Structure 1
Amino acid sequence: MERPSKRAKVSSEPELAENLSVTTPLTSLHRQISPPPARSQKPGPSSQSTCSTARNEDTDDLTGPGAIEPFPRIECISSPIQLTHIRDLPTTNNVDTVKLRDILGDPMIRECWQFNYLFDVDFLMSYFDEDVRSLVQVKVVHGSWQKEAANRIRIEEACSRYPNVEPIVAYMPEPFGTHHSKMMILLRHDDLAQIIIHTANMIQGDWTNMTQAVWRSPLLPLEKPKPSTESQAKCLKFGSGARFKRDLLAYLKAYGPSKTGALVRQLNDFDFKAVRAALVASVPSRQHASNSNSDEDTLWGWLALKDATSRIPTAQKGDELQKGNTIQPHIVIQISSVATLGQTNKWLRDVFFKALAPKSSTTPNYSIVFPTPDEIRRSLDGYGSGGSIHMKTQSAAQQKQVQYLRPHLCQWAGDTLMPGAQINLLDESKREAGRRRAAPHIKTYICFANKDKKTIDWAMVSSANLSTQAWGAATNGNGEVRVCSWEIGVLIWPDLFRSGLEDEKSPDAVMVPCFKEDTPRFSGDEKDSMVVGFRMPYDLPLTPYGASDEPWCATAEYELPDWRGQSWT
């Protein structure tokens, strides 16, 4: 008797099991299978639709006096960046979110490469389709190179319970570097591939009540033979899928052929044309700033970031400048960790800030969003979520760093009250993201066009926090930039999504922040435009630190109990 099709599971989290072997027939391989939808409730990341300001078809052919002006046709692109589902938030705050099972639960996956910092292998394996869990070839790439490291021992012991799982130790030449990249690469039985770049460790806590982000490429087909006359320069246009592919393969090759050579050979056969993003990554390396030309070689760290942001069109249009309306961008850095940057702001101001805005005609405003102890205390997991969020504040040198960061620091939730202060519950200017109580492990870098933050010049989601190990130190005496860690991220901007990038008559594109959903909203003033959404993880406007606010410090002690009644010692 044929086994009926499986029903969708409704349990919130699967129990971890030491033995997850398959003992039933693989019926899922013998029935029709469609890829899971890119959205649980809305169109996919690259989906296009016409917004509610649609053209009146009855008036399209009317001309001359008395003709009715048709409504402008607004093309909407759902946010290419998704937030992850938060277990303990209501459904209204989880619209358009993604779960780990949405990514790994497809029985068409035949091979899965997992790049990350922390792994719970049993947790990871529990999210594959149960019928093929023992058949998927899983590669676990981590950076615990010391044989006696507790993390490496845990990973290897867990992998030994699964014949189809192989641990791979990343090349780690720098003693202070980490393998911090967070990426999945899926190869499928239907000859499609997918790249997923995200911000979560592969552990349960990161996929339940922590704010995280996910970027998923479209399903990529095998590449067709190209005419020999096709221009190589055109193929590698900045922001193109071909350029993304080149940079991703360069990143993977840095691990060495014995580690990732098989993956590089497979990905080389796939067509990345549908990808609309730029890759900004870091590998342990030394590059010379004077020779940095990403058209010839892939750059890493802040050199890559500076090169990328210098190529993106900004909102400082010529007509605005002619009117004397100087637009001052506002760049918001939102991270979950701040490392030792130095006792002065030289690296932050002269290296990193300039990499974020290398061609701005005006000095941007810079904000750094980082949670306070009060926000961690009131988060869904209370103090438990604070173990993943780091900024040291206790020594004299660390206090100096906090002092020069302070003018830029903003609250995560924006509702920490100063003594005697009151919350204005009727503040209509507040745009709520629905993530106040889900502590941030996400990392975003957003360039808003101006202070009202209604449009976005560019946005990036990355594994990289604010550190010289991740982005690279300042140039030394011979112009060399040293990067210690592995990191990876994606950078997007509105013009990437225009239908005719080479056509000057193609509609203008604008990127707008989206709150509690991925579908962009617009003012109605746009004319024949394309509106691209970017899903926001935090509320706007931002709330700067008050005089008594301090950044959360995981190595400090907090006697005041969290909402669960626990103290942090």
Structure 2
Amino acid sequence: MSANKLRKLEGSVSSNSSASTASKTHNTFYAEPCFKLVGVSVLSPSENVGSITLSSILSSGDLEEMVQINYMVDIEYLINQLPQSKRHSLRTTIVHGLRDESAKNIRTVALLYRNIKVVPVSMPITYGTHHTKAMLLFFTDGTMRVVIHTANIIEREWCNKSQGVYMTPILPRKRNDSSSCEFETDLINYFKSYSNNTMREYGERLKNYDFSSVKAVLIASVPGYHTKDSLLKWGHMRLRTVLGNRVTIPSSCQNDSTVICQFSSIGSLGTKESWLKDEFFYSLSCSKNEKQSRDPDLKLIFPTVENVRDSLEGWSAGESLPFTHANYTKQKNYMIKYLCKWKAFDNGRERAMPHIKTYTRLRANSPSELSHESNAEVAWFLLTSSNLSKAAWGSLQKKGIQLMIRNYELGVLFYPELFQMDESIPVHLLNATLKNLKPSLPSFIVSESSTNSSKKRKRIDEESCQIVPIRIPYDLPLTLYDSKKDDCWTWDIPRKEIDWLGRSYLS
């Protein structure tokens, strides 16, 4: 395939379907994955390069209608992020998971706006949460866009936290002969899983749009007791199925790789690691070429007490990092060996506490003398609303024939095969940083024609390849907890120490 044709095809992967984002450097082509970090308000422009804000998302086209699907929504903050001309006229539907007094408050505020409709979500299983974070943006020219992200619609989560956003390309209306694609079908099925008519009606509307340009796979959770045909549709069993049937672990990762789970909350996982290791990690270890690959290592990233104290928000950042001291005490004996602290200098997010949730399998590179080399090749990468909990991912019951999920969750999975345009041109997902937004292949990556020896090689410039840069939010290599001085953050015990803002913490 010619470079011009590949460049043209890659244009469909960009966040603007009419413009090509692929470029060529020494036979290397770059494609846009449509995943961005959210800008941090106190950082300099140089530290927010390539990031996005809520106002820029809502100004990406001439909006005709907006649907916000979330857990928490501050209506006044949301309206203030819209262009001035749209604030009191844009048809807006808010689907939320608030309860009790918070639900009453959002209804009261909505009465002040004739253009806003508020729809609460009823949860069929106790202790469940409507945790999905997504938007449907309909434009006046008849197109639309789907946004899947990690932030509640409240000010503090779009200002000083580490967050992530995935935006589909602009989606045109279907032509009469257009067929459906998997992303469309999965998204519609997710909308139809709700009991309220509003979500079901929007699910029907999605059938009118062409999703063929989307280069991602939907990974969703829906509350219920899932058996038979639905057992593999949701939660970690859905991820297990996709990884096992479609994802080939690249040669560089087959002998040495790590599954990294990064999240902002930890649930009750039990006193033994049977769910974490034998069920959840097993799902994340699956691949098409599992027999040719060594088992990956497991690492968990969650902030330490020191991370929270020294963060941009000080102790108050810990209010968005729910993990009870009781659960940590029960789980510490097996979790501690996997725990890594939050370090994010490479993308300027060291002091911006994570509300983003990412799960990935990769091989980290040793520091290279060549600054343009990526420090990791990524086998797959998942951006999601799901934290590390059984409620979010599901727990197998009845000897593995039933999956019980409590929450609504939504995420998108990326892997190299999704971006493949030509079988003769290999695709690599590589970690990108502020200083290296267009990384080149790490030295450890072997040629496609080589054996799985993990031997180092020099960069072969004459080999054509396509690179998809992924802004992994944390630093690589990871930094394990220091057992002598690092304490895992738990949010329900007081902290007498003073943070940099001069405050102590009352749980």
| TM-score (normalizing by structure 1) | 0.77
The answer (yes or no) to whether the contact 2:187–2:203 under 8 Å persists in 1 is no
Matching residue of 2:284: 356
Q: How far 1:478 sits from its partner (Å)?
A: 6.9
2:59 maps to which of 84, 102, 105: 105
- Call closer, same or farther: CA 1:463–1:326 in 2, change over 3 Å: closer
Structure 1 residue 381: Cα displacement: 1.1
Please name the residue that 2:460 is paired with.
525
Structure 1 counterpart SS, 2:343: coil
Aligned partners of 1:211 and 1:438 also within 8 Å? yes
Structure 1 residue 264, shift from structure 2 partner: 1.8
Amino acid corresponding to residue 534 of structure 1 in structure 2 = I
Query: Residues 435-450 of structure 1 correspond to what in structure 2 (within 5 A)?
Result: 435-449=349-363
- Equivalent position amino acid for 1:515 in 2: T
Q: What 5-or-longer segments of structure 2 have no aligned partner? A: 1-13, 367-374, 442-458
RMSD: 2.1
| Structure 2 CA distance for partners of 1:392 and 1:525, relative to 1, 3 Å | farther
1:379-415 CA distance string (max 9 Å, x none): 111112111012112x3x641302211110001027x
In the alignment, what sits opposite 2:431?
Answer: 513
Letter in 1 for 2:35: I
Quote the residue 1:39 is aligned against. Answer: none
Describe how 1:4-43 pairs up with structure 2 within 5 A: none
CA distance in 1, matches of 2:196, 2:177: 26
Distance 1:386 1:45 in 2: 37
Equivalent in the alignment of 1:346: 274
SS of equivalent residue, structure 2 residue 86: coil
CA distance in 1, matches of 2:297, 2:460: 27
Q: Choose 1 or 2 for highest CA Rg.
A: 1
Letter in 2 for 1:525: I
CA spacing shift, 1:530–1:107, aligned 2, 3 Å: closer
Q: 1:292, CA displacement in angstroms?
A: 5.7
1:566 is displaced (CA, Å) by 0.6
Percent identity, please: 30
Map of 1:477-556 to 2, 5 A cutoff?
Answer: 477=399, 479-500=401-422, 504-505=423-424, 507-516=425-434, 519-523=437-441, 524-525=459-460, 527-547=463-483, 548-556=485-493
Residue correspondence of structure 1 range 176-195 to structure 2 within 5 A: 176-195=127-146
Q: 1:302 aligns to what SS in structure 2?
A: helix
Aligned residues: 460
| CA distance 1:284–1:517, shift in 2 (3 Å) | farther
Using the TM superposition, give the Cα deviation of residue 107 of structure 1 relative to its aligned residue in structure 2, in angstroms.
6.1
Pairing of 1:143-222 with structure 2 (within 5 A): 143-144=97-98, 149-222=100-173
Output aligned runs, 1:85-124, within 5 Å: 85-106=39-60, 108-124=62-78
Instruction: Tell me the alpha carbon deviations over residues 67-105 of structure 1, each in whole angstroms, 9 at most, x when there is no partner.
Output: xxxxxx111113431000101112211001001111113
Structure 1: gaps (5+ residues): 1-42, 54-72, 236-241, 415-430
Map of 1:260 onto structure 2 = 199
Verify: 1:273 aligned to 2:212, yes or no: yes
Q: Which amino acid aligns with 1:277?
A: A
CA distance in 2, matches of 1:212, 1:517: 19
Paired residues of 1:116 and 1:202 also in contact (CA < 8 A): yes
Pairwise CA distance, 1:444: 0.4
Are 1:304 and 2:214 an aligned pair?
A: no
Contact persistence 1:457–1:511 (CA under 8 A): yes
**Secondary structure of 2:396 counterpart:** coil
Measured after TM superposition, the shift of residue 353 of structure 1 is 0.1
The 5-angstrom pairing of residues 326-341 of structure 1 reads 327-341=255-269
> Mean Cα displacement is larger for which, 515-524 or 531-540?
515-524
Cα deviation per residue 1:399-439 (whole Å; 9 max; x = unaligned)?
Answer: 1302211110001027xxxxxxxxxxxxxxxx822210111
Aligned mates of 2:479, 2:328 — CA distance in 1: 23
* 1:162 shift after superposition: 0.6
Q: 1:378 to 1:93 in 2, by over 3 A?
A: same
Q: Is the 8 A contact 1:368 1:409 kept in 2?
A: yes
- The answer as to whether partners of 1:80 and 1:534 remain within 8 angstroms in 2 is no
* Distance in 1 separating the partners of 2:436 and 2:404: 38
Whole-Å separation in 2 of the counterparts to 1:326 and 1:86? 36
1:497-533, Cα deviation, whole Å (9 max, x unpaired): 1223xxx33x100010001278321044351100110
Query: How far off its partner does 1:311 sit?
Result: 2.6
Whether the 8 Å CA contact 1:117–1:179 is kept in 2: the answer is yes
Q: What is the TM-score of this pair, normalised by structure 2? A: 0.86
In the other structure, the counterpart of 1:37 is none
